[in-house]
Amino acid sequence: MVPNIPSKIAFGITHSQINTKFKQTEVGKIPQEWEVVKTGDVCTSIVPGRNKPKIFDGDIPWITIPDVDGLTLSASKTGLAVSREELKKAKGKTIPPNTVVMTCVGTFGIAAIATREIVINQQLHGFICKEDVLPLYLCWVLRAKEADMIALAGKTTIPYLNREKCESIYFALPPLPEQKKIAAILNSVDEAIAKTQAVIEQTRKVKQGLLQQLLTRGIGHTKFKDSAIGKIPECWDVKTLSSVVASDKPITYGIVQAGPHIPDGIPYIRVSDMAGTSLSSEGMLRTSPEIAERYKRSAVAYGDIVYALRGNIGCVLLVPQSLHGANLTQGTARISPGNNINPIYLLWSLRSPLAVKQALLESKGSTFKEISLEKLRQIKITIPPIEEQSAIAKMMEEVEYSYINNLKSLKSLQQLKRTLMQDLLTGCVRVTT
């Protein structure tokens, strides 16, 4: 299920241009009734002790940068915790609940709120907010101030913010009711992002499980036989990839030297063009019609499959109608399904753990893997009857459709979050309170 994507209207946001008067400040234009404040003026700092505890056998969580990834802090991912006795020996101090904890070494602006008593290491800084500053609002402000913090840190081998610089971060502060509403809006988007990410991960697991199950066990079979790749349904075959492609279109790579980019030329598919979930001509380099003609043996047609021979070995994508007649490079190969082979089934067969494992075992190179055409042609895949191929292909495409839609939702939510952080934390767009 794809989560509903919240909109500005759903949050009760109104455009500030209607009723708001602005003033120019050191942080830019802000609403007339807002203030510009400095973290050191509206917060009390808590700086961690200089010495790291030697023994971690207590019950107070020891927090480091990797632990600051959500909006709340209550435990260490490593499970490390300190006792009061050991902390006293190290001359350390604890952070009380409701303190805003921020990363200040190497990585800046990641902030979360302690929900219980914790201990932080020297790469973190604590802010106890005064009564007119909502801790959650400060979290969002700090997350939006990364660029300012980088400038404050200056150019050092490992950039860091000392106490003075942590207390020198200027930001726009609205009245408390508006802080609460802004924080609530940004929280709701963050929660929607987290839910969508969870759905994506679950769908990915379902997809991997189906690939393993459907491509070796099929649908509803009870009788199996031994084969070169293990047990498969009795009515299935195991064939090499070269034996299931069109007889007049053998597996081949493409253009060796494409020449300079010709804006109106013939697009050719590189491994770098295969980073997404589908192929698109947008951003592709193009070669001249003369060079493409010399390599017409490797031209691709709608329904063909493109296989990455280098780098991301095992990545396969279907050729869309918009790229019918395009070509390839040496780093990619064309696979044209033959008779009685469903192109979508073949696509998913090549994505299966069985096929990917074979490809990786046959690839060469320590840092830059590559599989030869000869080895690619020898990859073994399972071949069910054409009706079952179609049924398996349909099931896999339904899962993939859900997966891609959730990825699109996530991208939209992340863009909405960036926009809202910019608009709401500056007062460019106002909220109803």
Q: What integer is the mean pLDDT of 282-298?
A: 94
The pLDDT tens digits for 52-108 are 888 998 999 999 999 998 899 988 888 899 999 999 888 888 999 999 999 999 889
Q: What is the pLDDT of residue 173?
A: 97
CA distances 207 to 259, 305, 353, Å, are 40, 20, 11
Residue pLDDT, tens place only, 317-362? 999 999 999 999 999 999 999 999 999 999 999 999 999 999 999 9
Residue 1 confidence (pLDDT): 44
Reported as a single tens digit per residue, the pLDDT across 184-204 is 999 999 999 999 999 999 999
Helix (H) or strand (E) holding 390: helix 386-424
> In the chain, how many H helices and how many E strands?
11, 25
Res. 302: pLDDT tops 50 = yes
Q: Using CA of residue 383, residue 385, residue 389, residue 391, what is the dihedral sign?
A: negative
Indicate whether 289 pLDDT > 50.
Answer: yes
Q: Which residues pair with 238 in a beta bridge?
A: 382
Owner of token pair 């979930």: 277
Per-residue pLDDT averaged across 103-115, rounded?
93
Span 296-300, average pLDDT: 95
Reading phi first (left if > 0) and then psi (alpha if -120 to 50, else beta), residue 325 is in left
Q: Over the stretch 149-175, which tens digit does the pLDDT of each residue have?
A: 999 887 778 889 999 999 999 999 999
Residue written as tokens 């009723």?
A: 19
Provide the sign of the torsion angle of the four alpha carbons 428, 42, 139, 189, taken in this order.
negative
Instruction: Decide: 314 and 359 in contact? Cβ < 8 Å.
Output: yes
71 burial type by CB count under 10 A (0-12 exposed, 13-18 middle, 19+ buried): buried
Confidence of residue 9 (pLDDT cuts 50, 70, 90): low
Residue 27 has pLDDT above 60, yes or no: yes
Asked if residue 141 has pLDDT above 70, the reply is: yes
* 307, pLDDT greater than 90: yes
Q: What DSSP string runs through 100-120?
A: EEEEEESEEEEEEEESS-BEE
CB 82 within 8 A of CB 62: yes
Task: Say if CB 165 and CB 416 are below 8 A apart.
Answer: no
pLDDT > 70 fraction of the chain, expressed in percent and rounded: 95
Check pLDDT > 50 for residue 183: yes
Q: pLDDT by residue (tens digit) across 350-407?
A: 999 999 999 999 998 777 889 999 999 999 999 999 999 999 999 999 999 999 999 9
The pLDDT of residue 114 is above 90: yes
Output the pLDDT for position 16: 47
**Contact between residue 256 and residue 330 where contact means Cβ atoms under 8 Å apart:** yes
Evaluate if residue 4 carries a pLDDT over 90.
no
In terms of phi and psi (left: phi > 0; alpha: psi -120 to 50; beta: otherwise), the region of 230 is: left
Tokens 């997809």 locate to 207
CB neighbourhood size of 77 (10 A): 11
pLDDT beyond 80 at 290: yes
How confident is the model at residue 222, as a pLDDT? 94
**pLDDT of 315 higher than 70:** yes
**Which of these, 170, 167, 175, 104, lies nearest to 141 by C-alpha position?**
170
Per-residue pLDDT of 29-59, as tens digits, reads 999 999 999 999 999 999 888 888 889 989 9
Taking residues 120-127, report their average pLDDT: 94
Q: What single string gives the DSSP state of each residue in 291-338? A: HHHHTGGG---TT-EEEE-BSSTT-EEEPPGGGTT-EEBTTEEEE-B-
pLDDT at 365: 79
For position 51, what pLDDT does the model report? 83
Half-sphere exposure of 221 (CA within 13 A, CB side): 19
pLDDT at 427 exceeding the cut of 60: yes
Q: Which residue reads 């969870």 in tokens?
A: 198
Domains within the chain, CATH numbers bracketed: 1-34+175-220+386-433 (1.10.287.1120), 35-173 (3.90.220.20), 237-383 (3.90.220.20)
> What tokens appear for 13 in the block?
């946001």
Average model confidence (pLDDT) across the chain: 91
Q: What's the pTM value of the predicted model, to 2 decimals?
A: 0.83
Identify the sign of the CA torsion 147, 152, 157, 161. negative
